[in-house]
Amino acid sequence: MCYTGRRREGCVIKFYITTPIYYPSDRLHIGHAYTTVAADALARFHRLCGHDTFFLTGTDEHGQKIQRKAAAAGKEPQEFVDEIVAGIVKLWERLRISYDDFIRTTEPRHKAVVQRVFQRLYDRGDIYKAAYEGWYCADCEAFYTETQVAGFPEGKCPDHDRPVERLREESYFFRLSKYADRLLHHIEEHPEFIQPASRRNEMVNFIRQGLEDLCVSRTTFDWGVPVPFDDKHVVYVWVDALTNYISAIGYLAGDPALRERFDRYWPADVHLVGKEIVRFHAVIWPILLMALELPLPGRVFGHGWLVLESGKMSKARGNVVDPHVLCDRYGVDAVRYFLLREIPFGADGFYSEDAMLTRYNADLANDLGNLLSRSTAMIERFCDGAVPEPVAAEDDGVLRALAAEVAEAFTGHMERLELSDALAAIMRLVGRANKYIDETAPWELNRDAGRAERLASVMYSLMEAQRIVAVMLTPFMPAAPERFWYQLGLDGDVRAQRWPAAARWGQLPAGTRVRRGEPVFPRIETAKIGVEER
C-alpha cells in the first residue's frame, strides 16, 4: 500500500502537509481556495486514518509589491497586510479549513529563523555578495534571464501581463548551481519527489539547462527581514517565504517544545502548490535544505489551474471568482465538492457557473441527497422508522461487495492524491445504491408479507452503504456528513470514525431509528441563480 505519510518510532504514521503561503496583496480568489481545500481534504483523510497530522498554511507578507501597494493605499505595510490577512483567515474559517498552524512571515518567530538560516548559509560559504543586473517582475517577485524575457509577449510577464523591469543592484547570492547535480540525482532516485510526472519532467529539463545562482537580498526596498550582518539589505523573497515550512514547526527555535515539534514532523510529506510555483519548491527549496543539511520533503505536488473561458484566473486580469459568492449561492460543502470532483487533480480544469450548477444538481441533489431522502422515507413507511435486522440468506451482497471495492479504491486514490478519482469512487457506490432501489423495488416487497426478510435485508444494505459513504465524505465535506449521520439515526461525531475500520460491513446497529429531515442538498433551479449574477 502506497502511504503518503511516514512512520515514526512505534509505527505511528505522521503526515505533514503544507499549502503555499499566500501573498496578501489583495483578496484571494477561488483558485487559492482550490489549493487550500485540497490540502484540507488530505489532512482530514489522514486524521480519519488516525495519523499524527499537521497541516500548515499562511501568508507571505514581505516584498516590494506589498510596499508599493501599501503606499498607494496610504497605509503602512503592516497595516495594509493585517487587513487582508484578516480576510484570508475569515475565508478559511468559512470554508472550514482545519489547519493546525497559520504562519505569517511578519511574525517574530518566523523572522528570527530566517535570519538564523541566512547566517548559517553565509557562514558555510553558500551565500556571497555581488552585483546583479537583470529583468524583474514585482508581481512574481522573480528575476528572469535575457533568454526568458525574449520569449515574453511584448516584454510582459506571461503570468501577470505587466512589463518586467530592468534592475541593477548589489545583492547577496545563494550558490544554487553548486547543488544542481545532487538535486538531479535525488530526483532520479526518488521519482515520487515531484508530481505529477509532467512537472517532474519540466523540472529535470530546467535543471539540466543550467542553474544560475539565486539573488537572496535586495537594497531597493526595506519591507522585509533584515540581513543579520548587513542592515542595508533585506532577505529576498524565496529564502524568507520558503523557510516558513520549517520556521512554523520549530526549526532553530529556542523553545525545546518547538524543537521537538520540528523533530516530530520534518520532513514534510507533501508540499501542495500551484504549477506556476513548482520551480521554487522543487528546485530552490530542496537545494536550500541540502545546504542546511536537512532531509528533503517526500513530495512536491504541483496541481493545475482553475481556468475560466477568458483564460487563467488572475487578479491582474480582473477575471477572478470570489469564493464567498459561490458559498452564498451553493453552500460551503457544494463548493468544496465541485472543486475537488470536477478537476482531475494535477491537470487544469475549467470553472463555469453552468458546470457548477450541473455538478451540484446531478451529484449532490439527485444522487446523494435523493438516496438519503428515499431510503429514510422507506424505512419510516415500511419498517416503522427503525433499521431492520438483515437476514443472511436474503442478502444478495450487491452493495456489500461494491462497498468493499469502493473503500479500497477510495483509500488508494487518497494516498496517491487522486482526489477527483476518490470522489468518483464514492459516487459510484451512491449511484449503485440508487439503482439498487429501482431493481429491488422495496415498495413491492412491502406488499408481500412473505418477502419481509428480503425487504429487511434490502433496506439494511441501503442504510449500511450510506453509513460508509458518510464516513468517506468527511475529508471533502465538513458539514453534510454530520447531517447524513444524524438522519441515518447514528449518534456521535462521524469524524470520530477511524478508517479503514469504518468500512467493515455490518456496523450499523439493527433497530437504529432514522431521523428523516430536510434535504441535505435541495435542488437548485437555474432561474434561482439570476441572470444578472451569471
Q: State the catalytic residues.
A: 29, 32, 137, 140, 157, 160, 312, 315
State the Cα–Cα distance between residues 528 and 515, nearest whole angstrom.
Answer: 29
- Most distant CA atoms of the chain, gap in Å: 91
Collect all residues with Cβ–Cβ distance below 8 Å to 108 and sequence separation of at least 6: none
Alpha helices of 248-397 — where are they, by DSSP H?
256-265, 278-279, 285-291, 323-330, 332-342, 353-359, 370-382
Closest-CA residue to 174 (of 219, 136, 207, 213): 213
CA–chain centroid gap for 416, Å, is 13
Give, as one character, the DSSP assignment of residue 314: -
Question: ω into residue 226 within 30 of 0, thus cis?
Answer: no
CA–chain centroid gap for 413, Å, is 15
List the beta bridge partners of residue 349: 306
State the Cα–Cα distance between residues 159 and 316, nearest whole angstrom.
Answer: 9
Q: Which helix (H) or strand (E) holds 87?
A: helix 77-94
The Cα-based distances of 179 to 104, 193, 272, 301, 303 in angstroms read: 29, 16, 23, 21, 26
> Do 321 and 30 form a contact (C-beta atoms < 8 A)?
yes
Closest-CA residue to 145 (of 236, 84, 78, 213): 213
**Residues 309, 312, 315, 317: is their CA dihedral positive or negative?**
negative
Residue with cell 516558513: 244
Closest-CA residue to 479 (of 272, 284, 307, 330): 330
> Do 276 and 304 form a contact (C-beta atoms < 8 A)?
no
State the Cα–Cα distance between residues 447 and 452, nearest whole angstrom.
Answer: 9
